[in-house]
Chains A and B, each alone.
Chain A
Amino acid sequence: MPMNREVVITGMGVLSPIGCDLAELVSGLSAGQSGIRLCEPKWLQKKFPGGVIPRSFAGEFTKLELPFLDRCPQMAVIAARQAITDAGLGDFSGYKQRAGLYYGTVRGGAETEQTGYEQILVEHKNARPFSVMAMMHNAGAAQISLRHQILGPVMTHSTACASSGTAIGEALRAIRDGYLDVAVAGGAETPLTPGVFWVFDATRALAAPDGQDVGRSCRPFAKDRAGLVLGEGAAFVVLESADHAKRRGAPCYASLSGYGVASDGYHIAAPHAQGEATAMRLGLEDAGLAPGAIGYLNAHATATRGGDVVEAEAIRTVFGDAAPTLPVSSTKSLHGHLLGATSALELVITVVAMSESFIPATAHLAEVDPECSLNHIANRAVFDQPIEHAMSFSSGFGGTNVALVISKHREMPAKRPVIPVSSS
């Protein structure tokens, strides 16, 4: 019979287009500062908006390490290290198989793969011996495990845009059911490569750069929304049983109180309100909460014509009478869509919103699409808004939907993201 233990979030780390530590993230969200910039991918005769982190992370690694590290696992290692340090942990070897790592990514080492194709087709060169280790999807997970001696399950989830959400949810279950004491969970994605732009552009789902201001190219729920904007980054949380955190005197940001996962079984790309609603309901049930208890919902809303309408319908169905007062926003308007890392980033955003008592806004929402009617927090964050429980929702190509629910912890000391966390 599995145990049933409370699970808390004791550490967080983030590299995102709107901030490369928690303090920067809070300030970017509060100010509604857009991290969307103009991308001009090599080979393509086209420009795209993208959620860019305008810096290289290569300087954080030695020249012996770098050949094994695509930009994607580089970001995974750095964001996970932030989270682990933030939790007051470092080396997990003493936990043996009771520490786990749960990772999500869609494309893994996309830049290395892109370079490989150029080397084969254009330069006619041989691959380097490291290429496999740099581009394999579990590279980020494995690199974190090596560096921090995480010796239990080291798992990589690829459930499209729900990847890091299912990673975090499955980590929650492993701790709650008594298999683990502690887990590091999150995701990383670096999709701003010609190849990834090329394939997404073919779906006609990508926004063009806004003619006036590229920073406002991603407009979820808006009548004039024009498609999704890809973004890069990584986000991780440290999860542990509440008892374990109490024993080591660690404060927590929040409880991870619910996880709902449900699949559409409907279409390889088109979302379906029924599957989305089921994941939200299961998340609420898992947390033991009525819909009216949720004080903020961070929506998946990517700003595609069809997806936002389906999600709004799912939210109205699940929240019913509570829907007209439930504050909803999609922060993708500021950071773009981080694919496999998006769910983790948005969970971290939801946690900082709760701990700092503010609700981040959907930026660039001048006029709401009537088909997306909800209680939108539009354009300006709402401050001094205590949140007891919140939900972050994500939905992926292929039909996997995930809802993560967080709750304020009643007894344990509350932790706040006030101290800047070094990325080094």
Chain B
Amino acid sequence: MDHAEILTKIRASLSERFGLEADQLAEDARLRELGVDSMHVLEIMLDLESDLGVSLSDLSLPPNPSLGEVTAVITKNLAGQA
């Protein structure tokens, strides 16, 4: 699963779970500015784990990550498992 597909899944999850609008979810949008904190991100990651049947081992994110940076961490995790 590539970066674009993961990003699409994260966007869908943020919209469905937390009511964020698609136009807020640019790749460079900073999570803090969206009101998304580390607990929300954790829930999104748990969603992805159960969706994809994987276990994400390295969830270390930079401070106040962008949507793209979260996507990159997950993509890297998945690549490591491939």
Bound-state Cα–Cα, A62 to B18, Å: 8
State the interface size on chain B (CB cutoff 8 A).
Answer: 11
Shortest C-beta distance, A150 to chain B (Å), equals 20
A133/B39 in contact, CB under 8 A: yes
Select the stretch in B4-12, B40-48, B60-68, B73-81 that faces chain A.
B40-48
Which residues of A are found within 8 Å of B17, using beta-carbon distances? 63, 67
Q: Point out the residue from B19, B39, B46 that lies within 8 Å of A126, measured CB to CB.
A: B46
B35 close to A (CB within 8 Å): yes
A67/B43 in contact, CB under 8 A: yes
Residue of B nearest to A128 (CB): B43
Q: Give the residue among B19, B39, B43 with the most A Cβ atoms within 10 A.
A: B39
Residue of A nearest to B17 (CB): A63
Give the residues from 2 to 47 in chain B that come closer than 8 angstroms, CB to CB, to chain A.
17-20, 35-36, 39-40, 42-43, 46
B39/A64 in contact, CB under 8 A: no
Residue of A nearest to B43 (CB): A129
B18/A63 in contact, CB under 8 A: yes
Which residues of A are found within 8 Å of B35, using beta-carbon distances? 62, 64
Q: Point out the residue from B19, B42, B46 that lies within 8 Å of A62, measured CB to CB.
A: B19
Q: Give the residue among A63, A67, A126, A133 with the most B Cβ atoms within 10 A.
A: A63
Which residues of B are found within 8 Å of A62, using beta-carbon distances? 18-19, 35
Q: Point out the residue from B20, B36, B39 that lies within 8 Å of A130, measured CB to CB.
A: B39
A129/B46 in contact, CB under 8 A: yes
Which residues of B are found within 8 Å of A64, using beta-carbon distances? 18-20, 35-36, 40
Interface string of A189-232 (1 = CB under 8 A from B): 00000000000000000000000000000000000000000000
Residue of A nearest to B34 (CB): A64
Shortest C-beta distance, A394 to chain B (Å), equals 36
B42/A129 in contact, CB under 8 A: yes
Bound-state Cα–Cα, A381 to B66, Å: 61
Bound-state Cα–Cα, A129 to B42, Å: 7
Shortest C-beta distance, B25 to chain A (Å), equals 13
Shortest C-beta distance, B68 to chain A (Å), equals 20
Which residues of A are found within 8 Å of B20, using beta-carbon distances? 64
Which residues of B are found within 8 Å of A63, using beta-carbon distances? 17-19
- Beyond contacts A63-B17, A130-B39: 5 other A-B pairs, Cβ-Cβ < 8 A, are A62-B18, A62-B19, A62-B35, A126-B46, A129-B42
Identify the B interface with A (CB < 8 A): 17-20, 35-36, 39-40, 42-43, 46
A-B contact pairs, 18 of them (CB 8 A): A62-B18, A62-B19, A63-B17, A63-B19, A64-B18, A64-B19, A64-B20, A64-B36, A67-B39, A126-B46, A128-B43, A128-B46, A129-B42, A129-B43, A129-B46, A130-B39, A130-B43, A133-B39
